[in-house]
Structure 1
Amino acid sequence: MKVVCVGGGPAGLCLALLLKRQDPAHDVTVHERDPEGSTYGWGVTYWRGLLDRLGEHDPVLAREIEAHSVRWSEGVAHVRDLTTRHHGDEGFGIGRHRLLDLLAARARGLGVRLEYGSEVTRPPAGADLVVAADGVHSALRARRADHFGTETSAGRNPFIWLGTTRVFDAFTFAFTETAHGWIWAYGYGYGGGHSTCVVECSPETLTGLGLDRADPGESLALLEELFARVLDGHPLIARPGASWQRFRTLTNRTWRDGDLVLLGDAAHTTHYSIGAGTTLAVEDALCLAGALRAHTALPEALAAYERRRRAELLSAQSAARYSARWYENLPRYIELPPHRMFALLGQRHSPLLPYVPPRLYYGLDRAAGRMEPLRRFKRWLGPRAARALHARATARHR
């Protein structure tokens, strides 16, 4: 089978090397519009589950990625001048450039052709399968936008993606109160003496602080002042062209059109606050490679891939929506004692949380953690029941 992958990100490279491992006779080429080594971005996150799944298909690659990653097992939150630290699941960070280098080297070693500086804007002739892994602004998808039914919706809060030489020893949250509202940062190490630092705030805070009209140097200086405690004297760093933006959630009515199929961010996006973008892209590749192995007919393989991944994505997409909503409603939670606020930060994916007073939810969650019947009740209780519970609780406290 002749396969052309358009886009040399994690999704396209991972699919290419998996297909060559499955059958060395496959003719697989990856086209990446940017020059080799010119990748953008800082670090990406993933969890142990991704390594385990990747290891089932390519143990050599999984070991390489783990060896070049940093890890943490704690989260820390700084709220005003208070700090709270919780133990959690093992997480990993790796530089995006390092990850792409590892994927590209593995793909080359398996016989995949990598064409850098090669922009493909229309499906090439002669391929049995064309994979659009060219990101959220996919040129291939845009040519058939009506067929795919592409829709995007913008979130409320502006954010900016930065780096810092402060190496965080845990997944770090920092919440700073200003005269114009709260502004916060997420930080995590990824190697090479650097950490990713994503800064977010409400639109009102952005304009009140003047960050919407400040030049890049002024913006970094102000942010360094606001987060001086957590940065501990280290600078913030911006890539050329970095700017404040609002996250755009992208969906498609269908992911396939004949011999063209969407992969990764070209097919779907989920809010950055759940840290799952790279994981979901790699899982797309694992699923598509498996479907192509299991089904000899291409239409059946692509249909099976889309059906399975849509079902698997439901929980992540739901978590992303509620996570974004939690931050958009930060004032609802920020006045809790820091350890309680941090506990509800960890529960921000819950569909129940928006409908229950935060203090009541915290008590319910603590009780459910100790009692299995309450734990089952909490899982069962959906948004409709939560609204009823909220109404009763509000009436009792009047």
Structure 2
Amino acid sequence: MRVKVACVGGGPAGLYLSILLKLRDPSHDITVHERDPEGSTYGWGVTYWGGLLDRLREHDPESARAVEESSVRWRDGVAHVGDRSTRHRGDEGFGVGRHRLLEILAARARSLGVDLRYGRGVTGDAPPAADLVVAADGAGSALRTRHAAHFGTEITHGSNHYVWLGTTKVFDAFTFAFAETDHGWVWAYGYGFGPGGSTCVVECAPETWRGLGLDRADEAEAMVLLEKLLAGVLDGHPLTARSAGRAAAPWQTFRTVTNRTWSRDNLVLLGDAAHTTHYSIGAGTTLALEDAMALAAALHERGTVPDALAHYERERRAALLPVQSAARYSARWYENLPRYIHLPPRTMFALLGQRHSPLLPYVPPRLYHRLDQGVSRLEVLRTLKRRLGPRLARAAQRTADRRMTD
């Protein structure tokens, strides 16, 4: 069905939805409204994994190729706890600059005939006239807030404080760094997004944040303190709280956004406007792009807009359940860091990798680690048995046959 679509929000979700709709039917009339000037975005880089890249290739090989060419890769995870370090081999991960990602998607959308309008905010009181209005305007969505009672919006805040920073240090692995202070622990997640730098998310408990004076420090004072605490991984590189064209990044507590329903008449929620997942699992951009894939497919395959929106919501809610569970337990792991931080580095890092488990909060950490190791060894034996079992059986049969003929 041919539709006129107004997408409010020029982030990855809104731009990619416009691309997919145009690829499916060039006759669609699609406009993307973004309140900020073009090229002005928050943050430094985003992460994703190989599975997303495969799906991007399926839906639009051209933009997928550009994203892959602009991304950096890593396979290792490194954890630094004070002066102790451990490195672990894992799945291949990717980082790409947020500015570069939006540049790629915007150029692709324009080439397909999407009307991109920057510097034009849309309020909940005056939505654009269209067959379908897509609220892709983030966790603080103005369109969603205008009808919060209908959507059944609930917003809960985590306890820890965090801030998104950048650095010219290019990490060669996904890096965790934990530094102890007189007021508790401060930690950072660092990952490269290009040859010029990395994202560095710094987090701490509220009592640590206040005890260190970060609640009162200005930008310069905060950067000096954090650079000192994280000197072991920054190697002399500075931290910065400002990305191009943006004000300094504020300290925040994470907002978990949920909604009872994702649509109201011809208005539908997409990405963070519909749901958020804790940043510690690095899935926000992936989920937003997958939302766009599902909504574009539903609009193409279903006979009416209401039917398409209902199908989109059912499909994405089901897909999100395990991810949201993992995100909740991941956030809880960091909020209970003292439970794990004094374990031997390899044990602590192993449990860091298991932080999505619903059992971990209820089992003593050392016991959980031993049980996990035992299960892993058992699985290796099972795999070996599956692979070697038929060969051993055939060898045994050949031996028996020879004995019978001797």
- TM-superposition CA deviations, 1:279-300 (whole Å, max 9, x none): 0000000000111111011111
Identical aligned residues as a percent: 73
- Amino acid paired to 2:251: W
What is the CA–CA distance in structure 2 between the aligned matches of 1:237 and 1:164, rounded to whole Å?
A: 6
On the 8 A contact 1:163/1:238 being kept in 2, the answer is: yes
Higher gyration radius (CA)? 2
Is 1:251–2:251 an aligned residue pair? Answer: no
Is 1:83–2:85 an aligned residue pair? Answer: yes
Is 1:6–2:13 an aligned residue pair? Answer: no
> How does 1:175-254 map onto structure 2 within 5 Å?
175-239=178-242, 240-254=247-261
On the 8 A contact 1:367/1:374 being kept in 2, the answer is: no
Match of 2:386 in 1: none
Match of 1:386 in 2: none
Q: Secondary structure at the match of 1:371?
A: helix
1:132 Cα shift?
0.5
Is 1:323–2:323 an aligned residue pair? Answer: no
Is 1:111–2:113 an aligned residue pair? Answer: yes
- Amino acid paired to 1:274: I
Unaligned runs of 5+ in 1: 376-398
Is 1:283–2:290 an aligned residue pair? Answer: yes
- TM-superposition CA deviations, 1:56-80 (whole Å, max 9, x none): 1101111110000001000000011
> How does 1:1-398 map onto structure 2 within 5 Å?
1-122=3-124, 124=127, 126-239=129-242, 240-372=247-379
On the 8 A contact 2:140/2:273 being kept in 1, the answer is: yes
- Amino acid paired to 2:156: S
Instruction: Tell me the number of residue pairs that the alignment of Structure 1 and Structure 2 aligns.
Output: 376
Change (3 A) 1:230 1:126: closer
Q: Secondary structure at the match of 1:29?
A: strand
1:258 Cα shift?
0.7
Change (3 A) 1:197 1:297: same
Q: Secondary structure at the match of 2:232?
A: helix
Match of 2:398 in 1: none
What is the CA–CA distance in structure 2 between the aligned matches of 1:182 and 1:339, rounded to whole Å?
A: 19
What is the CA–CA distance in structure 1 between the aligned matches of 2:381 and 2:20, rounded to whole Å?
A: 43
What is the CA–CA distance in structure 2 between the aligned matches of 1:246 and 1:34, rounded to whole Å?
A: 24
On the 8 A contact 1:368/1:374 being kept in 2, the answer is: no
Change (3 A) 1:126 1:177: closer
- TM-superposition CA deviations, 1:96-117 (whole Å, max 9, x none): 0000000000001111110111
What is the CA–CA distance in structure 1 between the aligned matches of 2:91 and 2:105, rounded to whole Å?
A: 25
- Amino acid paired to 1:91: G
Q: Secondary structure at the match of 2:340?
A: helix
Q: Over aligned residues, Cα RMSD in angstroms?
A: 1.4
- TM-superposition CA deviations, 1:22-66 (whole Å, max 9, x none): 000111110001110111111000000001011111011111100
What is the CA–CA distance in structure 2 between the aligned matches of 1:373 and 1:193, rounded to whole Å?
A: 41
- TM-superposition CA deviations, 1:224-263 (whole Å, max 9, x none): 1111111010001111231211001001110000110000
- Amino acid paired to 1:291: A
On the 8 A contact 2:187/2:202 being kept in 1, the answer is: yes
- Amino acid paired to 2:32: V
Q: Secondary structure at the match of 1:233?
A: coil
On the 8 A contact 1:70/1:93 being kept in 2, the answer is: yes
Match of 1:388 in 2: none
- Amino acid paired to 1:236: L
What is the CA–CA distance in structure 1 between the aligned matches of 2:215 and 2:120, rounded to whole Å?
A: 35
Runs of 4+ in 1 over 3 A off after TM superposition: 122-126, 372-375
1:367 Cα shift?
0.9
Q: Secondary structure at the match of 2:303?
A: coil
